[in-house]
Structure 1
Amino acid sequence: MTLYEFIQADTDQKALAVWNGIYIADRQEGRLRMQLYHLGSFYVEVVYDVPQNRILHFKPFRKGLLLAPYLEQIRLSF
């Protein structure tokens, strides 16, 4: 799936694409949990409301500032 296809997809299709992606890291801000996934040529941040037990939205992106909050958690091994 391309970034453009992901943007055009409905919620169920987005959830399935993320489910098949590669989980990278997560973080929490108050009641919200954000999870970062890699889907080949782009990333998706899933914003999840913990108390309500539901996904609020998906933030697809290729690079940039949205990766910054996760960088300390990512460990590369060679």
Structure 2
Amino acid sequence: MDNLYSFHRLSLEERTQFILGNGVLLCSRYFAGRKVFLYFTGKFYAEIWFDTRKSKVSNIIPFTTTKCLKPYLELIDINDVFKPKVD
């Protein structure tokens, strides 16, 4: 995928398959009755919004700005970074 413009031209199903096949799952959260999965593709981030009542993807929101990562900041646990190494 060259850019976000190319990504937006894909169908919802194609975008879902691209993210699941090429992205790295970073985190998930619940918001507005949806489970939101955050992925990074190497070129952009994408949220997959999953409607748990209908068991289907309802939306995919791609972005490149780190401002959109704000809802995930309190979910990140970096405690392991500060633990001393044990050999």
TM-score bucket of the superposed structures, by smaller chain: 0.7 to 0.9
* 1:13 corresponding residue in structure 2: 14
TM-score when scaled to structure 2? 0.77
Gaps of 5+ in 2: 83-87
Question: What CA distance in whole angstroms lies between the structure 2 residues aligned with 1:44 and 1:16?
Answer: 12
* 1:27 corresponding residue in structure 2: 29
TM-score when scaled to structure 1? 0.85
8 Å Cα contact 2:16/2:48 also seen in 1: no
Q: Which secondary structure does the structure 2 equivalent of 1:72 belong to?
A: helix
Question: What CA distance in whole angstroms lies between the structure 2 residues aligned with 1:14 and 1:8?
Answer: 9
Please say which of residues 6-15 and 68-77 is displaced more in the overlay. 68-77
* 1:42 corresponding residue in structure 2: 44
Q: Which has the higher helix share?
A: 2
- The structure with more radius of gyration: 2
* 1:4 corresponding residue in structure 2: 5
Which is bigger in relative contact order (C-alpha 8 A, separation at least 6)?
Answer: 1
* C-alpha RMSD of the superposition: 1.8
Cα deviation code 1:6-59 (max 9, x no counterpart): 111112210111112100000002421111000111010111111111111100
Instruction: Determine what percentage of the aligned residue pairs are the same residue.
Output: 28
Question: What CA distance in whole angstroms lies between the structure 1 residues aligned with 2:7 and 2:77?
Answer: 27
Q: How many residues align?
A: 78
Gaps of 5+ in 1: none
